[in-house]
Amino acid sequence: MLLASLGLSGCVTAPAYVKPEVMVPPSWSGEGPWRAAQPADTQPKGPWWERFGDADLSALEQQAMSANQTLAAAQSRLSQARATLGVNAANSMPQVGAGLRAQRLEISANRPLTNYAAPNWQTIQNDYVPTFAVNYEIDLAERVKSLVDGARASLEQAGADLENTRLILAADLASSYFNLRALDSELDVLTRSIALQQSSLELAIQRHDLGVASGLDVAQQQALLDTTLTQVDILKRQRAQLEHAIATLVGTPAPLFVLPVKVSPMKPPLIPVGIPSDVLQRRPDVASAERAMAAANAQIGVANAAFYPSLNFGLNGGLDSRLFSEVMNGPSIFWSMGVSATQTLFDGGRIQSNVDFTRAGFEVAVANYRRVVLTAMQEVEDGISSVNAIDRAYNQAQKAIESNRRVLQIAFDRYHGGIANSQDVIIAQQSQLNSERLAAQLLGQRLLTSVFLVKALGGDWQASGSSGAP
């Protein structure tokens, strides 16, 4: 039986793993210009947030990488996967054990007889038994090998999941931060508009007191100022919510976290975009889905192994003596050695059903992998098209700001000179406010889109021979 088992030990029950083909376009459809980059899985994909040149953001990202609890959980899952691989790898090695028993016992005289010619006697004696055992599973159908392959793929998947968690965390934090800074810019616009509207209100009051302007001019200017002040309160509430979200991301209780207001010009970095196939090499979620397929493929091998006999080699031995002084004597030795084999003869189709289940699980993993790839392509295309559109809109918004400033100055001069009514000034002030707020919002969206595109591309890119500057 042992020779026959060794002859069958070359059986391979797990199908050879081949990564499925996916449709990958040769290039992106979006407009340039895009800086070329050389993708490589071995190169670090961060800290990409430093490309935005914001010291506060960089400090928050570093804090999040060390204190975020979602990331800590992902790191613990990686440790679990590493331990699982160790457990399965240990099954390919012999299991060696030792034991020791020392007892004093009394044997009953009334126990059943072994034969009628040998009566039982009641005895009290000691029993000293040191033992040694070796057990080894002969991996006839590569069941253990499939378990190890699956655990290794799961470990790699957990590593990719950790990188994906880190990427998502950094992107979520950057998005919340840029949303908050965009609100700071809007609040700055409102603050400057309030000062201008208060000045216009004072002028309207003076003209009214002189009998040059009507009470309607004063009321309209006051209504515009009150509306602007209301918008300030709304934006402050939104800012507070973003501040609380950032606190949670960086692992700080919201009541203890404060992010001071800062208004400074922020310019999005030039995002390097390679060819679409590069995304498949860099995106950690794509890598995770691919490793999930490998793990599912290994499970087919584990299920197929149940069709083959299960063989175990065992060696047991030790010493047994009622006298401690004679434990090490030759007559105290006992041992046994042998091979045990079990084979399922009939199970009503249970094994085959389990194989079918694992094969279906592999097909699920394949479909999920292709879905993740398609989603990756969609996200990059969305990011490219959004960057182009928002860039054009932002440039146009800057032109609108200059035009509205000229209109406001003309309207104010005409009103101050008494040749125009307050309605012209109010309309010009509102247009100026709207254009400046729109520009602030577009800049925030441009920064958010850059974050989204970096995330879609799988993180930072290091240009060959450069220091990583954009």
Of the residues 342, 367, 386, which one is the last residue of a structural domain? 342
pLDDT at 13: 64
Q: 313 and 369 share a domain?
A: no
What is the rounded distance in angstroms from the CA atom of residue 89 to the CA atom of residue 386?
Answer: 48
Q: 119 and 241 share a domain?
A: no
Q: 110 and 174 share a domain?
A: no
Domain count, the chain: 2
- Concatenating the DSSP letter of every residue in 186-207 gives HHHHHHHHHHHHHHHHHHHHHH
Q: 265 and 134 share a domain?
A: no
Q: 320 and 439 share a domain?
A: no
pLDDT at 28: 53
Q: 451 and 371 share a domain?
A: yes
Q: 34 and 99 share a domain?
A: no
User: How many secondary structure helices (H) and strands (E) does the chain include?
Assistant: 9, 4
Expressed as residue numbers, the domain containing 107 is 94-138+309-342
What is the rounded distance in angstroms from the CA atom of residue 252 to the CA atom of residue 241?
Answer: 14
The per-residue pLDDT for range 61-103, each reduced to its tens digit, is: 999 999 999 999 999 999 999 999 999 999 889 999 999 999 9
Answer yes or no: is 398 within a domain.
yes
The per-residue pLDDT for range 115-134, each reduced to its tens digit, is: 888 888 889 999 999 999 99
Nearest residue to 168 via CA among 428, 402, 456, 446: 456
Q: 32 and 169 share a domain?
A: yes
Q: Sheet containing 310-319: which strands, arranged edge to edge?
A: 95-107, 123-138, 310-319, 333-342
Answer yes or no: is 247 within a domain.
yes
The pTM for the full model equals 0.78
Most confident option among 67-81, 324-338, 392-406, 454-468: 67-81
Q: 363 and 445 share a domain?
A: yes
Q: 57 and 155 share a domain?
A: yes
Helix ranges, 41-142 (H)? 55-67, 69-90
CATH of the domain at 445: 1.20.1600.10
Return the half-sphere exposure (C-beta side, CA atoms, 13 A cut-off) of residue 60.
Answer: 27
Whether 103 contacts 127, CB under 8 Å: yes
Q: 79 and 144 share a domain?
A: yes
Sign of CA dihedral 410, 415, 419, 420: positive
pLDDT at residue 276 above 80? no
Q: 328 and 442 share a domain?
A: no
Most confident option among 56-65, 106-115, 375-384: 56-65
The per-residue pLDDT for range 27-52, each reduced to its tens digit, is: 555 544 433 334 344 345 668 898 88
What is the rounded distance in angstroms from the CA atom of residue 144 to the CA atom of residue 340?
Answer: 17
What's the Cα-to-Cα distance from 398 to each of 390, 436, 442, rounded to whole Å? 12, 8, 10
Nearest residue to 411 via CA among 394, 430, 395, 386: 430
